[in-house]
A = this chain, B = another copy of it.
Amino acid sequence: MSVLGIVGLGLIGGSMALGYKVASIENRIVAMDVDPEALDYALDRGIIDSAVDSIAELTQVADIICLCTPVKQLASIIPALSDYQGVVTDVGSVKVPLIEATEELWGGLPGNWVPGHPIAGSEQHSVRAAKADLFANHKTILTPIDGVNPQCLDEVKALWQSLGAEVITMTVAHHDDVLAQTSHLPHLLAYTLVDVLAGFGDEREVFEYAAGGFRDFSRIAASDPEMWHDIFLTNKTALLQRLKTMIAALDDTASMIENGDSDALMVKLSRAKAARDYFADLQQADRKLP
């Protein structure tokens, strides 16, 4: 039984705590957060066992520490972990800031750090939305460095597996590019579309007539703007490259419509539907996992 230390008790940190507690009632969770109400809420409901005020305190009691704060806060947190001998992981959607901060501080990630990223979440971001099974049957990507301590890697794997996640490993750069495509670019499109539509016409009239397709599309623009602001700026290189490809593809679709190029448009839409159907099949297969 390891004592899990959580820094940042929001949706992700809260769901990890709750899931870890549900996995075994004997598991112990210690948390810290800048918001005392989040800690009180979690203590009252038995989601965590105790709360601490500083990273220094946390390093005294935790066997494994998971950083669940917004990515831009990592740089200010990690110096306090310099002498920590336990296992460290995080849940950042972008890995660049963590890598840069550790390079500046220690010349790179230490062997006891195993960067992680659960591919799960929702547009809510408070511990009040925490769910014990938020990560169950979802992938968690770990991006260990070459010199990682194998035992630390195993412990982080085991932590995520105890939450029901399917653990996958890849390089930091590949992670940031894959996420730019599958998550950051769709969010950027949704935010920009909703902003564009809100700017047209009188008093947001268009929203009166928006149907299901738009509802699905725009749901992800209900996510926390501050979090996405940070993600877009920190994953700048990969995101901009993919965004430019997307803009070129939209220019291409526009040309097909402008020129009435019926065949090319039909090929493009059919190809997209085939890819989407393939994706839907994958999702269905995933849900059949234990």
Contacts and interface: CB of A to CB of B under 8 A. Distances in A.
Interface of A: 119-122, 138-139, 141, 168, 178-179, 181-183, 185-198, 200-201, 204-223, 225-226, 228-229, 232-233, 236, 239-240, 242-247, 249-251, 253-254, 257-258, 260, 262, 265-266, 268-273, 275-280, 282-283
Contacts of A244: 254
A182 B206 contact: yes
B275 A207 contact: yes
20 contacts: A120-B211, A139-B208, A178-B209, A182-B197, A182-B207, A183-B211, A191-B269, A192-B246, A194-B276, A196-B242, A204-B275, A207-B282, A213-B219, A216-B217, A216-B220, A225-B273, A236-B260, A239-B257, A240-B254, A240-B258
B191 A272 contact: yes
A270 B49 CA distance: 35
Contact of A197 (B213, B229, B240, B275): B275
Number of copies of this kind of chain in the complex: 2
Nearest to A255: B240
Given A195-B249, A222-B276, 15 more contacts: A119-B209, A141-B209, A181-B200, A183-B213, A194-B272, A196-B249, A198-B275, A200-B242, A204-B278, A213-B219, A221-B276, A223-B273, A232-B265, A243-B250, A250-B250
Given A196-B245, A249-B195, A189 B217 contact: yes
A198 to B, nearest CB: 4
B182 A209 contact: yes
Nearest to A215: B283
A232 B258 CA distance: 10
A209 B179 contact: yes
Contact of A243 (B178, B183, B228, B254): B254
Contacts of A139: 208-209
A277 to B, nearest CB: 7
A250 B192 CA distance: 7
A232 B217 contact: no
Contact of A229 (B179, B190, B211, B269): B269
A277 B222 contact: yes
Nearest to A190: B217
Nearest to A197: B181
A198 B258 contact: no
A186 B273 contact: no
A233 B257 contact: yes
A99 to B, nearest CB: 18
